[in-house]
């Protein structure tokens, strides 16, 4: 790859990462979407159920996509299709919220489910080819600079988006405020897509384009699943932190009297927590390893719901540090588990390992739905206490993850 093309690909990938972060910060599922669903339906079951639907929609397509994508010389067409599906779904949702308003809440709620399902299915479709494309266009010796540069750009943009969202939630009437957030997110994703128009993806040299039979692919999946066993266990147990994350907002609104404008403060706290903690997580992974980093992350995740019980006594403001830590550990999961997955996965099988990992952790998606149902009978502090117990078990299991030093270079290309 010549120097000019390498620079062009690098800039294009950075551009996409930065504006994607901006769009996602405007519509955080555990703050903005959770609050919108609670305002629209007034039901914790809807909040938990929608979180489950979104996770399933993002995971299920991945194995089918990986089987089709892995043998292809180029993955870019799949990625571009996914990107524009997401832009379209966000744009249509913004239009419906503005046009229907609060006059037809049930119709809008079901439209929300359908369009968010398309959005997250697009994420599942795009996640598989994205990993492979970045691996091909960003040289190994520049990947650290790429991921560091992407976070350096994404951080200020995400914080700016959170501040803008806070202002919109405080100053613009419901439901136009949500329509504006989703519309701006759609525009940001559209701008982000321009980055991939700059990228020139080199074809995979040994790809023959032959899609394996499901029998052959099934054998590959079974072998890969055994290799991923402990990592999956850690993700499922620590996934209880994701179960309670959207309910901190609902708890603040329903039990602690948080005003509508507080949603913007919660969003800002979550984004700041994620941005600042990225520096710590990256340092831990580089200096030690993903196993050590995941242990620290899981321990903090264990303490977070316990802090929600204690600090909730001080009103909704007391939950701001809880949301901050929730954002920190949410990002920590992405850094740690992505690093661990790359350490475990052979380079030529990364699409399959990525997709299989997403499917095997699907049971965690039903935790939010279960939480929403249980909250019909249980208190929020009881739910937080149960979550802390399971997350703590996951923290202990991190010590059984494979030592990265013993895995060799199989995941490196």
Cis-peptide into 22, omega within 30 deg: no
Walk me through the domains of the chain, giving residue ranges and CATH numbers: 3-199+212-403 (1.20.1250.20)
Q: Which residue has the tokens 């990993």?
A: 131
d(CA 192, CA 203) in angstroms, rounded, equals 23
Q: Which of 141, 198, 150 is nearest to 9 (CA)?
A: 198
286: left (phi over 0), alpha (psi -120 to 50) or beta: alpha
pLDDT tens by residue, the chain, 413 residues: 566 777 888 888 889 888 888 888 888 776 787 777 777 777 767 766 776 677 777 777 788 888 887 777 777 888 899 899 999 998 998 998 888 877 777 788 788 878 888 888 888 788 778 877 877 777 755 654 566 567 667 777 877 887 888 788 878 888 888 899 999 999 999 999 999 998 888 776 666 567 778 888 888 888 888 888 899 999 999 999 988 988 898 899 888 988 877 877 887 888 888 878 877 887 787 777 788 889 999 999 999 999 999 999 999 999 999 999 998 998 888 878 877 887 787 767 878 888 888 888 888 878 877 888 888 888 999 999 999 999 999 999 998 888 766 554 444 44
**Cα 27 from Cα 120, distance rounded (Å):** 12
Gap between the Cα atoms of 68 and 66, Å rounded: 5
User: Torsion angle, CA of 299/51/339/400, rounded to 10 degrees?
Assistant: 50
């Amino acid at each position: 790859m010549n120097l000019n093309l390498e620079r062009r690909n690098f800039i294009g990938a950075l551009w996409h990462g930065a504006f994607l972060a901006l769009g996602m910060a405007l519509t955080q599922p555990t703050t903005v979407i959770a609050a919108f669903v609670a305002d629209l339906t007034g039901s914790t079951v809807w909040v938990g159920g929608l979180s489950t639907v979104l996770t399933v929609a993002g995971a299920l397509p991945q194995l089918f996509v990986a089987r089709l994508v892995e043998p292809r010389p180029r993955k870019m067409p799949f990625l571009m299709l996914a990107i524009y599906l997401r832009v379209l779904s966000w744009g249509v949702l913004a239009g419906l919220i503005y046009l229907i308003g609060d006059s037809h809440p049930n119709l809008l709620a079901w439209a929300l489910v359908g369009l968010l399902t398309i959005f997250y299915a697009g994420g599942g479709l795009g996640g598989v080819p994205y990993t492979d494309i970045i691996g091909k266009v960003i040289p190994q010796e520049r990947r650290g600079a790429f991921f560091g540069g992407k976070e350096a750009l994404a951080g200020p943009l995400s914080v700016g988006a959170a501040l803008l969202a806070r202002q919109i939630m405080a100053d613009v009437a419901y439901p136009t405020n949500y329509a504006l957030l989703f519309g701006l997110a759609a525009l940001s994703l559209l701008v982000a897509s321009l980055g991939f128009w700059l990228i020139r993806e080199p074809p995979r040299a040994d790809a023959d384009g032959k899609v394996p039979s499901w029998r052959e692919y099934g054998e590959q999946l079974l072998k890969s699943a055994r290799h991923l066993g402990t990592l999956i266990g850690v993700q499922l147990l620590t996934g209880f932190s994701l179960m309670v994350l959207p309910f901190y907002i609902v708890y603040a609104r329903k039990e602690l009297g948080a005003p509508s404008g507080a949603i913007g403060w919660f969003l800002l706290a979550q984004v700041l927590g994620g941005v600042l903690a990225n520096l710590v997580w990256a340092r831990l992974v580089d200096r030690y390893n993903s196993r050590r980093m995941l242990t620290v992350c899981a321990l903090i995740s264990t303490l977070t719901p316990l802090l929600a019980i204690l600090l909730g006594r001080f009103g909704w403001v007391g939950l701001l540090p809880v949301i901050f830590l929730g954002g920190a550990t949410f990002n920590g999961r992405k850094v740690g588990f992505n690093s661990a997955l790359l350490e475990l996965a052979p380079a030529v099988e990364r699409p399959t390992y990525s997709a299989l990992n997403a499917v095997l952790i699907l049971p965690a998606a039903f935790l939010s739905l279960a939480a929403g149902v249980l909250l019909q009978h249980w208190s929020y502090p009881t739910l937080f206490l149960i979550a802390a117990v399971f997350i703590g078990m996951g923290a202990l299991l991190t010590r059984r993850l494979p030592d990265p030093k013993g895995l060799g270079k199989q995941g490196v290309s």
